């Protein structure tokens, strides 16, 4: 009788364990499903100005944009083809539109970094989006900082997805440029891809700071002007020379699991990311 009772108890415990395991698995799946949905994302990308140059950054890197991407849009941008008319965007319902500064949560951190002589804030924006599983997610194009010809100092993309935790993937690069004055290039860097959403209406903003660099910039501009007008002897069909050459590229490729509503940091000797992802409830009926 005792033996049968023990056997019965063992069977009962085994069934209970299986049941509990199944319920935990279902609970985890349900938790994962509930993680998919609307979030408000805010991100700051900042570069250290006090880079001593002691770090050796590899040049055998690949810079590329993913095939599936979305861009962050300005809700105040003029509608295509309608001069002087602005799009009406409901920021409570539309994804990937930049939010006004008043709706950001990290303004204090960004302002502190902007006041510091050791850092340069390259990107600080907030937007809302639906975050899905990695397979369905799209990369978000990121660019910021000063403009050098067809490029900006910060370019690349990030990807946000969710499984058990939220996940951030960074594919960002910081390029340091020099004015092209025909100097000898001692290190070969990969060609920087043009942003998929780049438009030729972007202005060429020369972004060199010192007086000497400004003089070199003006000299190069004058020379190019003389070539184009035929005022310099020689081959009038000489191809246009790029105004800038690449001095260094710093690539930040990281994967980071995150919890919602927490502020997360990706620390790096030069390029740093601060990000907060908060669940967002859209208005009823959305």
Query: What local confidence, expressed as pLDDT, does residue 30 receive?
Result: 42
Query: What local confidence, expressed as pLDDT, does residue 32 receive?
Result: 41
Provide, for the chain, the percentages of residues in helix, strand and coil under a 3-state DSSP scheme, each rounded to the nearest 5. Answer: 25, 35, 45
Q: With respect to residue 222, please indicate whether it lies within any of the assigned structural domains.
A: no
Q: With respect to residue 115, please indicate whether it lies within any of the assigned structural domains.
A: yes
On whether both 183 and 64 belong to a single domain, the answer is yes
Query: What local confidence, expressed as pLDDT, does residue 235 receive?
Result: 37
On whether both 181 and 42 belong to a single domain, the answer is yes
DSSP state of 220: H
Name the phi and psi angles at 210, rounded to 5. -75, 160
On whether both 75 and 118 belong to a single domain, the answer is yes
Query: What local confidence, expressed as pLDDT, does residue 88 receive?
Result: 82
Query: What local confidence, expressed as pLDDT, does residue 98 receive?
Result: 98
Which residue matches tokens 């340069």?
Answer: 120
How many domains, the chain? 2
Q: With respect to residue 221, please indicate whether it lies within any of the assigned structural domains.
A: no
Q: Strands across the sheet with 263-266, in order?
A: 119-131, 37-48, 271-279, 263-266
Name the phi and psi angles at 110, rounded to 5. -65, -40
Q: Strands across the sheet with 139-148, in order?
A: 69-70, 139-148, 151-162, 166-179, 244-258
Please tell me whether the overall predicted TM-score, pTM, comes out greater than 0.95 for this model: no
Query: What local confidence, expressed as pLDDT, does residue 22 receive?
Result: 47
On whether both 176 and 254 belong to a single domain, the answer is yes
Q: Rounded to whole angstroms, how far apart are CA atoms 30 and 262?
A: 22
Q: With respect to residue 285, please indicate whether it lies within any of the assigned structural domains.
A: no
Query: What local confidence, expressed as pLDDT, does residue 53 receive?
Result: 55
Query: What local confidence, expressed as pLDDT, does residue 87 receive?
Result: 57
What are the average pLDDT values for consecutive 10-residue runs of the chain, which has 286 residues?
48 46 46 74 94 75 97 80 62 95 98 96 98 96 96 98 96 95 89 92 44 48 46 38 88 96 96 97 69
On whether both 247 and 129 belong to a single domain, the answer is yes
Query: What local confidence, expressed as pLDDT, does residue 34 receive?
Result: 46
Query: What local confidence, expressed as pLDDT, does residue 184 receive?
Result: 87
Query: Which residues contact residue 241 at a Cβ distance below 8 angstroms, ignoring those fewer than 6 apart?
Result: 180, 224
On whether both 155 and 177 belong to a single domain, the answer is yes
Q: Rounded to whole angstroms, how far apart are CA atoms 12 and 4?
A: 12
On whether both 21 and 107 belong to a single domain, the answer is no
On whether both 195 and 275 belong to a single domain, the answer is yes
Query: What local confidence, expressed as pLDDT, does residue 282 receive?
Result: 81
Query: What local confidence, expressed as pLDDT, does residue 2 receive?
Result: 44
- Residue 81 lies in domain: 38-206+243-279
Q: With respect to residue 286, please indicate whether it lies within any of the assigned structural domains.
A: no
On whether both 18 and 109 belong to a single domain, the answer is no
Q: Rounded to whole angstroms, how far apart are CA atoms 155 and 192?
A: 9
Query: What local confidence, expressed as pLDDT, does residue 26 receive?
Result: 45
Q: Rounded to whole angstroms, how far apart are CA atoms 194 and 151?
A: 7
Q: Are 268 and 45 in contact (CB under 8 A)?
A: no
Q: Rounded to whole angstroms, how far apart are CA atoms 207 and 187?
A: 22
Q: Rounded to whole angstroms, how far apart are CA atoms 145 and 193?
A: 17
Query: What local confidence, expressed as pLDDT, does residue 76 receive?
Result: 87
On whether both 88 and 76 belong to a single domain, the answer is yes
On whether both 67 and 198 belong to a single domain, the answer is yes
Phi-psi category of residue 234: left, alpha or beta, with phi > 0 → left and psi -120 to 50 → alpha: left
Q: With respect to residue 223, please indicate whether it lies within any of the assigned structural domains.
A: no
Q: With respect to residue 269, please indicate whether it lies within any of the assigned structural domains.
A: yes
Q: With respect to residue 187, please indicate whether it lies within any of the assigned structural domains.
A: yes
On whether both 23 and 96 belong to a single domain, the answer is no
């Amino acid at each position: 009788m005792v033996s049968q009772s023990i056997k019965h108890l063992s069977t009962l415990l085994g069934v209970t364990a299986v049941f509990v395991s199944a319920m935990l698995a279902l609970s985890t799946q349900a938790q994962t499903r509930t993680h998919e949905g609307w979030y408000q994302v805010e991100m700051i990308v900042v570069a250290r100005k006090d880079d001593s140059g002691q770090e050796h950054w590899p040049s055998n890197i690949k810079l590329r944009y993913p095939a599936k991407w979305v861009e962050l849009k300005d809700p105040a941008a003029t509608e295509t083809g309608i001069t002087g008319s602005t799009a009406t965007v409901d920021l409570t319902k539309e994804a990937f539109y930049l939010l006004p500064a008043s709706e950001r949560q990290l303004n204090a951190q960004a302002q502190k970094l902007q006041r510091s002589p050791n850092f340069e804030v390259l990107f600080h924006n907030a937007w809302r989006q639906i975050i899905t599983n990695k397979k369905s997610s799209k990369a978000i194009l990121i660019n910021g900082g000063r403009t050098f010809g067809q490029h900006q100092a910060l370019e690349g993309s990030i990807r946000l997805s969710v499984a058990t935790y939220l996940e951030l993937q960074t594919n960002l690069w910081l390029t340091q440029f020099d004015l092209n004055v025909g100097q000898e290039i001692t290190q070969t860097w990969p060609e920087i891809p043009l942003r998929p959403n780049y438009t030729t209406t972007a202005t060429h903003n020369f972004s060199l700071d010192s007086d000497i660099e400004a003089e070199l910039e003006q000299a190069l501009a004058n020379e190019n002007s003389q070539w184009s007008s035929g005022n310099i002897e020689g081959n009038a069909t000489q191809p246009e020379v790029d105004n800038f050459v690449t001095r260094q590229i710093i690539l930040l490729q990281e994967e980071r699991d995150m919890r919602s509503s927490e502020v997360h940091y990706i620390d790096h000797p030069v390029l740093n990311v601060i990000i907060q992802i908060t669940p967002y409830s859209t208005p009823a009926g959305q």
